[in-house]
Structure 1
Amino acid sequence: MKVLVLGFTKISYMPYMHFYIEQLKKNNCEIHLLYWKRDSNPDTNSPEGVVTHEFNRYQEDSVPIIKKIGSFLGYRKYAIQILKKHRFDLIVVLHSTPGVLLYDVLTKKYNKKYILDYRDFTYENHTIYKKIIHKLVNNSSTTFVSSDAYRKYLPLVENLYTSHNILINALDSREIRKSKGRGVDPIKIRFWGFIRHKNINLTIIEKLSNDKRFELHYHGREQKTGQFLRKYCEEKNFKNIFFHGEYKPDNRYDFIGNTDLIHNLFDNDKTMKPAMSNKYYDGVAFYIPQICHEGSFMGDQVVENKIGIALNPDSPDFADEIYRYYRTLDWSNFETCCDYTLNRIITEYNDGVYKIKEIIKGKKAN
């Protein structure tokens, strides 16, 4: 059975693809991966045993969609060439945007022969885009959502599962933070991922800068926003704010083991309010409390599960609230809550695993 995993960015920026690739490997599928090399920075190696197809075109992420149209159309053309060259039995669409770009091909030629992974709410305010998403969901073999908050925006269908962004093999390193001391100042707050959302990060930086109780560290891609924030901190001579640049996925264990609190705050707008980030799962997996935005779905989750704190960065007491939370945390209870939350995540993760196995079995039977 031949399967195409349809990615929309570099390999290192798609850790969620491993959920699907691992299941496809277990079921002896021939796996092809289409990915988009968007810049000249080093990328992670392709998963072993996977045939890769590289769409190579520079594209800055933090620009308006009008400036991406040319690249999007180029991606569509390249993807169609791959689809024509090979006869795929199943397609895994790793983002709603490539699904929209190829929706006519998917819904006509691959009706009920693709899995849709829905993890973005950027363009749903456009009526046509929303209608296409609904059609993609209705015509898929199954749809996975990266956040349960997205469910209310999608059609009510039976084959809708939650795709938790947890890397199962990361659990082998689960003790890397738990075994180290928790009570030493400064408290190391750390962000990792694509550095964006300028205004909220400026607010956080201003609230924590030159406060001897804290260090604030940023790891990840720096385009316009990241570069601006780095330069701003250098010009202001902030001694406790650090930018470490881009990293490869395996390198994150080095700094995760030296993290006290996860900076998991984003703009609390319509796009980000329902989202769940990869760092949420890192916090649960590695026993690291996290700070999320008050009023966001993720903020509600960390409070409900007692694995972090939800705050408003605009609060005048923001820094004091962080310090008070961390210094009064009951670590035994916190770790128990992480275990309980992880067990529930793994149960839903396994439901998805079973569903993929069921789809593959059905395709092979036909």
Structure 2
Amino acid sequence: MKIGLIGFSTRNYIPYIEYYENIFKSNNISYECIFWDRFNSDNTKKKSNEYTIHVVCKPGMNKLRKIFPMYKFKMELERIIEKEQYTHLVVLTTVPGVLIWKKLLAGFKNKYILDIRDYSYEKYSWYRKIVEQLIANSYFTVISSNGFKTFLPQSDKIITCHNIGKNFSEEKEIGDLKKKEKIIIGFVGGVRYFDENCKFIQIFANNPKYQLYYIGKRNLDCDLEGYCKRNNIKNVVFKGEFKNEDKPEIYRKIDFINAIYGNKSLEVTTALPNRLYDGILFKKPIIASEGTYLGNVVDEYGLGIVININKPTKNIIEKFDKYINNFDGVNFVKKCQEFKEKIFFEQDNFLKHIRLFTSKIN
């Protein structure tokens, strides 16, 4: 008996894989991970119990140019599954599941977990129909946001798992924002959403009270640094890729978390990004967009500020000033704790389901 965990990127972008690995290890279940390095071209390599498929398919590439890399990934993935003779699978995100859906339905019915962490190609009816079949034939299906229920079929196999980690020492308090001479707003993670962040930068452009940080690898189509240079915007700092263990130090230097993704598509309106959980753990208010599920959560639980980036700059700055002047750090920490208890309740249910899955293997 051996489980294959199928990722759609490198380990650094799939921190939640550890939930599965920890339970498999504790139950002496044999497993291997399959990752996709989409930034480098090379032969597939195996180190210890990890395969890495090297096929270039960078974010921001033309959709037609992605077809051949996707096909190469699919063929290599199926080759590894056949070679290693996995008896059970964990499929992380729908795209690899759709790529090998025939194999899953033919050979792994009720022997795989489908883990859905984002909206991808559900706008296409054929894609939705395949995903519906994958959910129906899974042992169980995980979603990382209840907002996904707006585009997924109803199913009693769907449970919720949040992208919150337990590896960091949780901050217990927050400084007094009212006493800060300069407010630091940080965008931490893969830098994308060019149009939305250009508007966001313009709101605070060269405002001496605010400084914006963008920390992480940027998408090819999101040259915000070039935008700032062309427009002579001086109060924006850009830093490159970071390691997950760097997060505590990064967030200590930040006052607000930039989680502005706009509200143009279901991809951004339904997701709960990692930054929500970073905010809860590191006690930093989140800035979210109106018209998104994240915005609804932030507003309902008092976890930050919700704005419409299309409104006049003056109105938004006034909203920030009011939030800062009325900020109660003790109450904010309490709100974070209340929401954390809710999501950890759902996490425990998720972990229970993995253990049940594991018990069927032994």
Q: TM-score range by the shorter chain?
A: over 0.9
C-alpha root-mean-square deviation of aligned residues, in Å?
1.8
Q: Does 1:250 align with 2:245?
A: yes
Residue 98 of structure 2 aligns with which residue?
A: 100
TM-score by length of 2: 0.94
Code of the residue aligned with 1:153 in structure 2: it is F
Would the aligned equivalents of 1:262 and 1:283 in 2 still touch at CA under 8 Å? yes
**Equivalent residue for 1:67, pick from 60, 65, 73:** 65
Q: Does 1:351 align with 2:346?
A: no
Code of the residue aligned with 2:224 in structure 1: it is L
In the TM superposition, residue 194 of structure 1 has moved relative to its aligned partner by 1.2
**Equivalent residue for 2:321, pick from 320, 323, 327:** 323
Code of the residue aligned with 1:206 in structure 2: it is Q
How many equivalent pairs are there? 354
Name stretches of at least 5 consecutive residues in structure 2 with no aligned partner: none
Residue 135 of structure 2 aligns with which residue?
A: 137
Q: Secondary structure at the match of 1:225?
A: coil
In the TM superposition, residue 66 of structure 1 has moved relative to its aligned partner by 1.7
In the TM superposition, residue 89 of structure 1 has moved relative to its aligned partner by 2.4
Deviations 1:84-134 (A, max 9, x none): 111222211011100000100111111111100112222111110010000
Of the structure 1 ranges 202-211 and 27-36, higher mean CA displacement relative to structure 2 is found in 27-36
Residue 231 of structure 1 aligns with which residue?
A: 226
In the TM superposition, residue 179 of structure 1 has moved relative to its aligned partner by 5.5
Distance change >3 Å, CA 166–CA 134, structure 1 → 2: same
Code of the residue aligned with 2:29 in structure 1: it is C
Of the structure 1 ranges 24-33 and 351-360, higher mean CA displacement relative to structure 2 is found in 24-33
Residue identity (%) = 29
Residue 340 of structure 1 aligns with which residue?
A: 338
Structure 1: distance between partners of 2:234 and 2:152: 46
Would the aligned equivalents of 1:31 and 1:50 in 2 still touch at CA under 8 Å? no
Matches within 5 A, 1:280-295: 280-295=276-291
In the TM superposition, residue 232 of structure 1 has moved relative to its aligned partner by 1.5
In the TM superposition, residue 40 of structure 1 has moved relative to its aligned partner by 4.8
Deviations 1:259-308 (A, max 9, x none): 10000010212221111100001111111110100110000001101111
In the TM superposition, residue 8 of structure 1 has moved relative to its aligned partner by 0.6
Residue 235 of structure 2 aligns with which residue?
A: 240
Q: Secondary structure at the match of 1:169?
A: coil
Q: Does 1:305 align with 2:301?
A: yes
Matches within 5 A, 1:139-154: 139-154=137-152
Code of the residue aligned with 1:248 in structure 2: it is K
Residue 4 of structure 2 aligns with which residue?
A: 4
Residue 200 of structure 2 aligns with which residue?
A: 204
Q: Secondary structure at the match of 1:238?
A: coil
Would the aligned equivalents of 2:115 and 2:142 in 1 still touch at CA under 8 Å? yes
Name stretches of at least 5 consecutive residues in structure 1 with no aligned partner: none
TM-score by length of 1: 0.93
Structure 1: distance between partners of 2:157 and 2:129: 18
Distance change >3 Å, CA 277–CA 190, structure 1 → 2: same
Would the aligned equivalents of 2:6 and 2:92 in 1 still touch at CA under 8 Å? yes
Deviations 1:134-156 (A, max 9, x none): 00000000000011011232232
Q: Secondary structure at the match of 2:120?
A: coil
Would the aligned equivalents of 1:307 and 1:337 in 2 still touch at CA under 8 Å? yes
Residue 123 of structure 2 aligns with which residue?
A: 125
Structure 2: distance between partners of 1:40 and 1:157: 38
Would the aligned equivalents of 2:114 and 2:142 in 1 still touch at CA under 8 Å? yes
